Amino acid sequence: MATYYYNGSQIVTPFSVYSNEPQFDMTTVSLKTQRASQGHQRWELNFGLVGIADTEVDLLLGAITDMETSSTMIMPQLPSVDAANTTTSESIELTTSVAAGDTSALCDVTFTDGFLPKGTFFKFSTHDKIYITTSDLNLSLGTDQTLNFYPAARIAVNSTEQIRTGSQAILTYYRSIDNQQGITFTDGVLTSIGTVTLVEAI
């Protein structure tokens, strides 16, 4: 598994990734269930950290200051996705435009090859929303390939833009204010920062 960092400290497994997409559920008088969504979604992450003396000040300040401003970090990929990803580039060009609400895009295989597995987090180069692939993308084939993703595109994306994966899939987030906390020391040694909760800034 690749190593990911938050404020200079290593994220440890297990970490949690949640998709928050409010759904509305209604049962009719004939007992049929109807569900609907407003089409808004954000990612939420929970994780612990390996605390070391070199990062203890940043960890404490990160827990108590600048709660009203967003920050960025590389979006952690699922371990199985990291292991299966063999793409030769972290930027993949689109060959067609993407309309707001679309859940697929056509990718150019000319400048990269390899395999981008289902479950890869990525972003479009024009906006900060993080998406996830819902099917494998084989870039080693000779023709343009379809990238399927979730959630639906928030805004339109031009055909000249790129999808960004790996270290270029940058998550813009807010630190959750539901669990404000500090850090714990035992006998002068940093022992715990607790659980860090981040919510995607959209």
Domains of the chain: 1-69+173-202 (no CATH), 78-168 (2.40.30.290)
Look up residue 173 and give its amino acid: Y
**Cα(84)–Cα(48) distance, integer angstroms:** 25
Q: What's the pLDDT at 53?
A: 63
Q: Is the pLDDT score of 191 beyond 60?
A: no
User: What pLDDT, in 10s, does the model give residues 104-156?
Assistant: 999 998 888 899 999 999 999 999 999 999 999 999 988 899 999 999 999 99
pLDDT at 190: 59
Mean pLDDT of the residues in the chain = 86
Q: Which tens digits make up the pLDDT trace of 43-84?
A: 999 988 876 666 777 777 777 777 788 999 999 999 899 999
CA dist 3 → 166, 183, 199 (Å): 12, 22, 20
For the whole prediction, is pTM greater than 0.75? Answer: yes
Instruction: Characterise 23 by phi-psi region: left (phi > 0), alpha (psi -120 to 50), beta (else).
Output: beta
Would you say residue 163 has pLDDT above 90? yes
Residue with tokens 């509305």: 24
pLDDT (0 to 100) of residue 91: 93
CA distance 77 to 123: 13
**3-state DSSP call for residue 69?**
coil
